[in-house]
Structure 1
Amino acid sequence: MNPVLQVIIMAITGALIGGLTNTIAIKMLFKPYHAKYLFGKRLPLTPGVIPMRREEASTKLGEIVTGHLLTPEVFQEKLKSPETDRLIMHFIDRQIETIEEEKLSPSYFLERLSKGLTEKIIHAFNKEIEDKVTQEAKHLYSRDIEDVLPKDAMTAIEYKVDHLAYDINGKISDYLASEKGYRDIYTMVDEFTENRGKLASSIKYFMTKESLASRVQSELLKLISQEKMIAIEKKVIVDEFEKLKSSSINELITEEDRSQILVSVIKVLQEKIDIRTILNTPIIDFNRDLFEDFKAKGKYKLKDNLVNYSSKNMTKIINKLQLADVIKKQIDSFELSKLESLVMDVANKEFKMIMLLGYLLGGIVGVFQGIFVLFF
C-alpha cells in the first residue's frame, strides 16, 4: 500500500475514533436518562453521569451557591449600595404617594395581607374588651367595699358617718318643730284618740287635741336632743357602716344587676374605642402634621432602619429562606431533558471544542502511528 495513503487512512481512523469517543462521552453525561437492565441486571454506565449523580449534584450546587455566591456578606453589601438605597427610597415614596392620593386606611393594608383580616381584628379586639371587663368585674365584685374605695374617699365617708347622727337629729328636730311636723303629730293624735278604744278616747275629755299634740311635739323634741339618744343613733349608724364596709359588692347587687352593669360597661368601652372606625380612617387623617413630618424626614429613618435591621439579621433571614434547599428542589424538579438543554445551551461551544479537539488529537495520533508503522 502507498505509504502516504496508509498514513492518511490511519490519521482519518484516529480522528474518527478520538472525535466519536468525545462525542459519546459528552452524550453519556445525560443519556440514557434512566437505568437499563439486561436479564435483570443493570447495564454499566446507565443512567448517564448527571442523572445518576443528580441529587448529589443539586445538593452540592445549592451549598456552593449559598456558601460562596449568595452569602450574607454579599446581600449586606448589596443592601448598602447606592442603587439599593435609591430603589428603597423610590418604593417608600411611591407608597406614601399612594396612601395620600387614594386615602388608604389601615384596613386596606390588612385586607391586602389576608381577606377578612379587618373583621377578624375587630372581632378579636371587641372580644378582648369583653373578656378583660368580665375578668376585672369578677375580681372587683368579690372584693370588700372598703378595699374598692380609695383611701381619701373612705376617710371622707367615715367623717360623714361620725357626724351623721347629729345631722339626722338636726333634720328631725327641724321637721318636728315645723308647722308640717305639728300637723302630722296632730293627725296621729287625732287618730289615736278616736280609733284606739275607750281609754284612748277618754283622754280628749281631759286635754284638747291641740294641747296633746303640742305636748307630744315638745317631748319628742326633748327626746331627740338628748346626748344619749344621739349616742344610740351614732352607734347604730357606725355598726351598720362597719358591716357595709366589710361586705363584698356581690352581697349588695343581684346577678341581674351585675349582668346589666357588665353589658353597659362593655358597650360603652366598645363605642368609645371604635376600632372599626379607626381601621377605616385614612392614614393621613390620623395626624396630618405627623404625616407631613414623616414625608419630610421620617421616611429616611424608616429606610435606614430597614437596611440596618435586614443587614444585622441577614444570616437569620437566609437561614429561614433555606436557599440551598430551594435551589436543590428547583434543580430536582427539572425534567432531565430540560436540564440537558440548559447545560448544552450554556456549554455548547465548549462541548463542540472538545469534540473537535478529539478529532484533531485522534488525527495527530493516527499520523504518528502511520509514520511509526512505516519506519519500524
Structure 2
Amino acid sequence: MNDGFQIILMAIIGALIGGLTNMLAIRMLFRPYETKYLFGRRLPLTPGVIPRRREEASIKMGEIVTRHLLTPDAFIEKIKSRETQNFIMLFIDRQIETIESEKLTLRYFLERINEGLSDKVVKGFNAQLSDKVTAEGARLYQQEIRNLVPTDAMATLDGKIGTLQPQITQKIEEYINSEKGYQDLYTMTDEFVEHRGRLARSLKYLMSKETIVQNIRNELNKLIHHPKMTEIQVRIINDEYERIKNSRVDALISERDQQRLIDSVYDVLRERIDIEGILDYPIEDFNREMFESFKTRGKYQLRDNIIEYLGQNTGRIVEKLQLAQVVKKQIDSFELSHIEDLVMEISSKEFRMITLLGFFLGGMIGIVQGLIVVFL
C-alpha cells in the first residue's frame, strides 16, 4: 500500500472517529430520555446524562439562582436604584391623576382589592360599633351615679341640695295659699265631713266649711315652717340624695329602658358617622389641603417609605417566595425535548466547534499514527 495513501486513510479514519465520538457524546447528554432495558437488565449509559441527573441539576440550579443570582442584596440594590425610584414615582403620579380625574372613592379601591369588600367593611364597622356601645353601656350601667358625674358637677349638685328644702317649703306654701290649694282643701274637707259619721257631720253646724278650711290652711302654714318639720325635710332630702348617688345606674333603669338607650345611642352614632357616605365620598375631597400637600410633598415621603419597607423586608419576602423551589419546579416541569432544544439553541455553535475539533484532532492523530507506521 502506498505510504501516502496509508497516511491519508488513517487521517480520515481518525477524523471520523474523533468527530463521530464527539457527536455521540453531545447527543448522549440528552438521549435517550428514558432508561432502556435488554433482557430485563438496564443498558449502560441510559438514560442520558442530563435526564439521569435532572433532579440533582434542578436542585443545584435553584441553589445557584437564590445564592448567587437572585439574592436579597441584588433585590435591595435594584430597589434602591434610580430606575426603581422613578418607576415608583411615575406609578404614584398616575394614581393621583386617576383619583382626581375619575373622583375615585374608598369603595372603588376596596372593590378592586376584593369584590364585596366594601359591604364587609360597612357590616364589620357597624358590628364593632354596636359591640362597643353595648360593652360601654354595660360598663356604665354598673357604675355608681357619683362616679359618673364629674367632680365639679357633683360639687354643684351638693350645693344645690342645701337650698332644696327652702324651695320645697316655699312651693308648698304657695300651693296651700293659692286658689287651687284652697279648692283642694275644701274638697277634701267636704269629703271628710260627709263620710266620717255623725260626729264629723255635726262640725258643719258648729262652723262653716270655709272656716274649717281656713283653719286647716293656717295650721298647715305653721306646720311646714316648724323647725322639727324643717329638720325632717332636710333629713329625708339628704338621705334620698345619698341613696341615689350611691346607687348603680342599672338599679334605677329597667333592662328594657337600658336596651332602648343603647339602641338609641348606636343609631345616633351610626347616623352621624355614616360609614356608607364616607366610602362613597371622593378621596380628594376628604381634606383638600391635605390632598394638595400630599401631591407636592407627601408623595416623595410615600416613595421613600415604600423603598425603605421593601429594603427592610426583602430578605423575608425572598424567603417566603422560596425561589429555589420555584426554579426547581419549573425545571422539573419542562419536557426533556424542550430542554434539549433550549440547550442546543444556545450552544449550537459551541457544539459544532466541538464536533469539528473532534474531526480535526482525530485527523491529526491519524496522520501522526500513519507517519509512525510508515517510518517505523
For the criterion TM > 0.5, the same-fold answer is yes
Please name the residue that 2:204 is paired with.
204
Superposed, 1:87-126 pairs within 5 Å as 87-126=87-126
Cα deviation 1:263-305 (Å, max 9, x = unaligned): 2111111111111211121111111222122112211221122
Single out whichever of 201-210 and 218-227 deviates more from structure 2: 201-210
CA distance in 2, matches of 1:41, 1:200: 137
Length, aligned pairs only: 376
Once the 2 structures are TM-superposed, how far is the Cα of residue 101 of structure 1 from its aligned partner? 0.6
Q: TM-score, normalised by structure 2?
A: 0.95
- Note if 1:310 corresponds to 2:310: yes
Please name the residue that 2:337 is paired with.
337
Label 1:187 to 1:110 Cα distance change in 2 as closer, same or farther (>3 A): same
Once the 2 structures are TM-superposed, how far is the Cα of residue 151 of structure 1 from its aligned partner? 2.4
Extract structure 1 runs of 4+ deviating beyond 6 A: none
- Note if 1:29 corresponds to 2:16: no
- Note if 1:168 corresponds to 2:168: yes
Please name the residue that 1:270 is paired with.
270
CA distance in 1, matches of 2:278, 2:34: 63
Q: What secondary structure does 1:30 align onto?
A: coil
Q: What secondary structure does 2:294 align onto?
A: helix
Q: Which 5+ residue runs of structure 2 have no aligned equivalent?
A: none
Please name the residue that 2:254 is paired with.
254
Once the 2 structures are TM-superposed, how far is the Cα of residue 156 of structure 1 from its aligned partner? 2.5
Single out whichever of 365-374 and 189-198 deviates more from structure 2: 189-198
Superposed, 1:1-376 pairs within 5 Å as 1-376=1-376
Letter paired with 2:99: I
Letter paired with 2:55: E
CA distance in 2, matches of 1:162, 1:340: 103
CA distance in 2, matches of 1:33, 1:340: 10
Q: Among all aligned residue pairs of Structure 1 and Structure 2, give the percentage whose two residues are the same amino acid.
A: 56
Q: TM-score, normalised by structure 1?
A: 0.95
Single out whichever of 122-131 and 146-155 deviates more from structure 2: 146-155
Q: What's the RMSD between the two structures over aligned residues?
A: 1.6
CA distance in 1, matches of 2:73, 2:157: 71
CA distance in 2, matches of 1:280, 1:336: 55
Once the 2 structures are TM-superposed, how far is the Cα of residue 373 of structure 1 from its aligned partner? 1.3
CA distance in 2, matches of 1:41, 1:261: 88
Once the 2 structures are TM-superposed, how far is the Cα of residue 99 of structure 1 from its aligned partner? 1.0
Single out whichever of 364-373 and 65-74 deviates more from structure 2: 65-74
CA distance in 1, matches of 2:31, 2:52: 10
Q: What secondary structure does 1:103 align onto?
A: coil
Once the 2 structures are TM-superposed, how far is the Cα of residue 344 of structure 1 from its aligned partner? 1.1
Q: Which 5+ residue runs of structure 1 have no aligned equivalent?
A: none
Q: What secondary structure does 1:31 align onto?
A: coil
Q: What secondary structure does 1:313 align onto?
A: helix
